[in-house]
Amino acid sequence: MQNATEVNHLKTKAGLLSGLAALGPTYGALMALTLLVLLNLLFTPNFAASNNFWNVLLQVTPTMLVAVGMTFVIATAGIDLSVGSVMAIASALAATNLDRGVGAAILLALAVSFSLGALNGALIAGFRIQPIIVTLALLISGRGIAQVISHGGQLIPFSNQSFEYLGKGHVGPVPFQVLVMLSVIAAAIFLLRMTSFGRYVLAVGGNEAAARLAGVKIHRTKLLVYALSGLLAGVAGLIETARLGASDAAKVGLNIELDAIAAVVVGGTTLAGGRATVAGTVIGALIMQVLTTSFNMGPLGLRPVPFSWALVFKAAIIIFAVYIQRRRVA
Amino acid sequence: MGQSTTTIDEAGSTRGRVARGRMASFIQRQGALVALLGVLIFATVRYEDFLTERNLFNVLRQNSMLGLVALGMTFVILTGGIDLSVGSLLAVAGVVAANLAGHGMIAALLIAVAFTTLLGLLNGIIIDRARIQPFIVTLAMMIAARGLALAATGEESVRVDKLSEDFTWLGQGKLGPVPVPVLILVIAYGLGWLVLRHTRFGRHVYALGDNEEAARLMGLNVGRVTLGVYALSGALSGLGGVLLASRLGAGQPVAGTGWELDAIAAVVVGGTLLTGGQGGSGATLVGVLLLGIIFNVFNLEGTISSWWQWVLRGVFLLAVVVMQNSLSRRK
């Protein structure tokens, strides 16, 4: 009885959109993803092929890694525009230092990525400059630094089996980079949900003054959040480089900050901070990737959608997704 | 007796503090201007080619399109918003204008600018009605408008008809010694200053950026101001796009990539706060010139590779903002 009233209420007052929204942010996005995958499985030729399944996951990996880091940054009401340039720096560093050993090259690249992120965080927390400006400065400088490292922006090819395993290796049927992605996602969910660091992140984003009064170490939290974003961008840069078998400092990670931000907001994390969902980001990134893949293949048995129109359609999806998930202002 | 000494001392120190406060406040407000003067003096002394009519007009002309985009961005940022779509709108206008150049300069200009004004208006409507953050709405518009420009042109640039000389005059011509784009830039900033300082709309822009809730409670029509600034930003981006297409003799669907970041940098370097309510068109002009002249200095120096130029540009942006921040906090 009560259920019926409730359903009626939903139908009459708010309709389908609010019905979706009422199920909560992540479930709305999850339903959208499920619907998208089902439609494509049924109607898009070859979408159901197993190598396409792995392809979607392979292509989404760099964006996913960056977006998971971005989720933490956005949870503190910040933003990180520098991720693409950090990817390029990691890529250039690894490629130019492979002769010192794979381990050393990877460690160096990741340490520098982490430090650049920490530098972002230190400037943002220490000088109280807006995150968008600090990370914009690194976006501009970083791409230049990457090209300086790669001897004036040359393409640096390499042949190193153990490094390329990062981008091309498999464990059984599962590509190694997908395993990396899954472990990062699991660790991020644990970090945000189960640790005091995660609670600090949300506290800083929700109400910085209150968090300060409650004894949260604002500086350290922000520093770590941007360092984490830098580190994950570095991992993404290494994977991309290993997959291509060459480092192209001018191209690696170009504009990935926008894809990552789109994935985060489509997944239901608000730019206002204080609320964040890693699972949502995962779903958001997958939605955008499934769209791209199906556009390329010819969605629902239609002709392939040209890149240009795919952009228009994706933009509409972003607005729609954010619209149905926005928090109701009473 | 002792008491009066104290009073005099206090008065003296107060006067001193006021004077120092004024000085600090001047430097804080005009930090970018001081930096600009410094760079101008440095460049004049170091390069004999710098202070020539040719070089100066060149710098101004090269920065006129970005200047127009940054002026629109100033209005948006003054309300506490942001517009990431400007670069894509610039490309859309360039493509539209290049297609219409055969129908005369006026028609091409008006239709292209009208179209991007509408797209800007659409930004404003979605931000105001759907209550979605400007960052997301204009990010989506940035993606969609780029897609439109690419789709309309088949991803290739549109050549301007060789015969449409009146259209190419817009970007390549001169009035007396002054390049037309520079003239347009000066007029636009003059009008921008007038609107911000001396009209009701201008005051509403500041009021909205200062405190949206208070502005709403005072009965200010927040929706209209929001629509107005995003439409204006679309219009000025469109104007910049038409000038660029006219200058290059082609409408390029990939034009203006990354300009949103350059425009934001210019606005912030000028001293306008991203939180809204403080700054103005004059500040942005200083910011545009400062970044433009730095670039000119790199070129005159001639030995700095383009990769290092990017590194230095980022560092310079950060340095100016850090300086302004520490000055304003001292106050």
Structure tokens at A162: 């153990």
- Beta strand B158-159 with A170-171 is unpaired
What is the rounded CA–CA span in Å between residue A29 and residue B58? Answer: 51
Q: What is the DSSP letter of B130?
A: S
Residues of chain A neighbouring B139 (CB-CB closer than 8 A):
258, 261-262, 318
Residue closest to A57 by CA, chosen among A243, A241, A230, A182 = A182
Is B311 within 8 Å of A145 when comparing Cβ atoms? yes
Is B155 within 8 Å of A308 when comparing Cβ atoms? yes
What is the rounded CA–CA span in Å between residue B264 and residue B18? Answer: 33
The burial of B203, by beta-carbon neighbours within 10 Å (0-12 exposed, 13-18 middle, 19 or more buried), is given as middle
- Write down the pLDDT at residue B76: 98
In this complex, which of A140, A153, A265 lies closest to B317 when CB atoms are compared?
A140
pLDDT bin (cut points 50, 70, 90) of residue A326 is confident
- Write down the pLDDT at residue A321: 87
| Chain A 126-155, residues with CB within 8 Å of chain B CB atoms | 127-130, 132-134, 136-145, 147-148, 152-153
Q: Is residue A74's pLDDT more than 90?
A: yes
C-beta separation of B237 from B89 below 8 A: yes
For each of chain B's 331 residues, which pLDDT tens digit applies? 344 444 444 455 555 666 666 666 666 667 788 889 999 999 999 999 999 999 999 999 999 999 999 999 999 999 999 999 999 999 999 999 999 998 999 999 999 999 999 999 999 999 999 999 999 999 999 999 999 999 999 989 999 887 778 899 999 999 999 999 999 999 999 999 999 999 999 999 999 999 999 999 999 999 999 999 999 999 999 999 999 999 999 999 999 999 999 999 999 999 898 888 889 999 999 999 999 999 999 989 888 888 899 999 899 989 888 887 777 665 4
- Within 8 A by CB and 6+ apart from A181, the residues are A57, A60, A61, A64, A65
- Write down the pLDDT at residue B86: 98
Strand-pair partners of B158: B251
Q: In one letter, which amino acid is A80?
A: D
Task: Provide the shortest C-alpha distance from residue B324 to chain A (in Å).
Answer: 10
C-beta separation of B24 from B331 below 8 A: yes
Q: Is residue A148's pLDDT more than 70?
A: yes
C-beta separation of B304 from B312 below 8 A: yes
Distance from the Cα of residue B137 to its chain's centroid: 20
Please, what is the average pLDDT of chain A?
89
What is the rounded CA–CA span in Å between residue A107 and residue B173? Answer: 56
Q: Does B304 touch chain A (CB under 8 A)?
A: no
Q: Which of A42-46, A261-265, A298-302 has the highest mean pLDDT?
A: A261-265
Q: Is residue A14's pLDDT more than 90?
A: no
Q: Is residue A330's pLDDT more than 60?
A: no
pTM for this entry: 0.88
SS3 B137: helix
Task: Provide the shortest C-alpha distance from residue A312 to chain B (in Å).
Answer: 4
Nearest residue of chain B to residue A79 (CA atoms):
B135
Q: Is residue A195's pLDDT more than 70?
A: yes
- Write down the pLDDT at residue B24: 61
- Write down the pLDDT at residue B161: 80
Nearest residue of chain A to residue B149 (CA atoms):
A308
- Write down the pLDDT at residue B17: 61
- Beta strand A156-157 with A170-171 is unpaired
- Write down the pLDDT at residue A133: 93
- Write down the pLDDT at residue A12: 44
